[in-house]
């Protein structure tokens, strides 16, 4: 392994997206991620987005579990619990995203561990927080988007509430886990002490809408979605998405008269506003008549020459062939022993001196013997654990 976090060990008890996306990023940066799974595997090994499995392997699992080693454990059995404790004791960081109280009931909660391992950084990630009225509710991405008010920011005025089409809460919480862990490691370098960290989906979604909520809290102006797809509920035309002759194009905050002139629409001369909020739908509809007369490429050529903030609205096939996406080399592939050549999105961060490396996701329990040997167990003990269905 290589990367800026080489030498760091993380005990990963997380499942699905929220925790695994975080530990994958840490693993990409060189950390040794020991993924502790139930005997039958973590939840996403048996479920996949779009019900898509590649030669029997869950696409969702493969997408979020790169750069890890897997061991299966029965944590309810005394011997399995002891192995779990040894893994944690050999680790700098523990990350889990069970419902509040699950790790405590297993005897692996922070209070049970910190006395004998004061340097442990323990990150718990949940749906709503570790206490409060929603503590026992299931936490899930769409539910967090709903409670945070995000669904009311998307779509047009006549649409029902519109969810974001990605796991926004899960992925944002994953980034917050990474930030929290790295901050705690930095502090531990001077104090020598670990601590408990808590991240949840709701707070992460609230953080994403900081600007919009702050506007409402200070003015009581509720967000109003436009009828024509202006690009933000609190912003006016010309910002938004426009139909072209062969697709769609998006425009950011630009002078309305300049846009109108470039697309051949009259009536906006002298109006240099970048944010026309009065009659914004009417303004956008009028501008749109000029956009549909040209292809997306023709408009992009015109707009780039005039220094207009514009971008084509890519489909996924377009994303794959986009010149900047190709240049950034953010789409990667690796060879998996079952799935074969597998393509996915790679690490978003580059390091000039300590670059990481791409390591494939583990097979279920693939590294159990290796991990147990590192923990000091003998060959006979490891054989016993296998025979007793502990690992």
Active site residues per annotation: 170
Alpha-carbon Rg of the chain, whole angstroms? Answer: 25
How far apart, in Å, are the Cα atoms of 114 and each of 117, 123, 196, 260, 388? Answer: 5, 12, 9, 64, 30
Contact 372, 83 (CB under 8 A): yes
Q: Which two tokens stand for residue 164?
A: 């974001």
Residue showing tokens 């699992």: 61
How far apart, in Å, are the Cα atoms of 296 and each of 120, 213, 302, 313? Answer: 54, 34, 10, 9
End-to-end CA distance of the chain: 25
Query: Which residues, in sequence order, are CB contacts of 295 under 8 Å at separation 6+?
Result: 244, 245, 246, 247
Q: Name the DSSP letter for residue 109.
A: S
Distance CA 148, CA 150 (A): 6
Distance CA 341, CA 339 (A): 7
Question: Is residue 230 classed as helix, strand or coil in its secondary structure?
Answer: strand
Q: Which of 165, 128, 135, 136 is nearest to 150 (CA)?
A: 165
How many other β-carbons are positioned within 10 Å of the β-carbon of residue 212? 17
Q: Which of 74, 11, 12, 15 is nearest to 46 (CA)?
A: 15
Q: Which two tokens stand for residue 188?
A: 């531990």
Contact 73, 80 (CB under 8 A): yes
3-state helix, strand, coil in the chain (%, to 5): 40, 15, 45
């Amino acid at each position: 392994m290589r990367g800026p976090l080489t030498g760091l060990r993380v005990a990963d008890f997380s499942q699905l997206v929220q925790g695994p996306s975080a530990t994958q990023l840490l693993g990409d940066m060189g950390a040794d991620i020991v993924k502790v799974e139930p005997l039958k595997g973590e939840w996403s090994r048996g479920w996949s987005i779009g019900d898509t499995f590649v030669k029997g392997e869950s696409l969702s699992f493969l997408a979020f579990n790169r750069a890890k080693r897997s061991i299966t454990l029965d944590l309810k059995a005394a011997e399995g619990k002891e192995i779990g404790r040894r893994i944690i004791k050999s680790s700098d960081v523990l990350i889990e995203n069970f419902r509040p109280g699950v790790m405590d009931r297993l005897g692996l909660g922070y209070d049970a561990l910190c006395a004998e391992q004061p340097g442990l950084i323990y990150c718990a990630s949940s749906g709503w927080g570790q206490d409060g009225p929603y503590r026992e509710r299931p936490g899930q991405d769409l539910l967090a988007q709903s409670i945070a008010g995000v669904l009311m920011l998307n779509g047009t005025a006549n649409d029902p509430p519109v969810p974001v089409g990605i796991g926004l809460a899960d992925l944002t919480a994953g980034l917050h886990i990474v930030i929290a862990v790295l901050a705690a490691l930095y502090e531990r370098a001077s104090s020598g002490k670990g601590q408990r960290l808590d991240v949840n989906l709701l707070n992460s979604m609230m953080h994403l809408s900081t600007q919009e909520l702050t506007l409402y809290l200070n003015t009581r102006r509720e967000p109003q979605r436009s009828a024509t797809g202006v690009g933000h509920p609190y912003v006016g035309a010309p910002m938004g998405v426009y139909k072209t002759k062969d697709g769609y194009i998006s425009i950011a905050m630009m002078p309305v008269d300049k846009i109108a002139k470039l697309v051949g629409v009259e009536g906006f001369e002298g109006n240099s506003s970048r944010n026309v909020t009065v009659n914004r739908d009417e303004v956008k509809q009028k501008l749109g008549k000029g956009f549909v007369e040209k292809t997306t490429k023709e408009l992009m050529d015109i707009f780039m020459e005039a220094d207009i903030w514009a971008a084509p609205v890519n489909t996924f096939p377009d994303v794959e062939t986009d010149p900047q996406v190709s240049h950034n080399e953010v789409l990667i592939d690796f060879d998996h022993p079952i799935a074969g050549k597998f393509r996915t999105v790679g690490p978003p961060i580059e390091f000039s001196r300590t670059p990481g490396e791409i390591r494939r996701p583990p097979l279920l329990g693939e590294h159990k013997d290796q991990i147990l040997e590192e923990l000091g167990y003998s060959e006979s003990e490891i054989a016993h654990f296998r025979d007793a269905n502990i690992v």
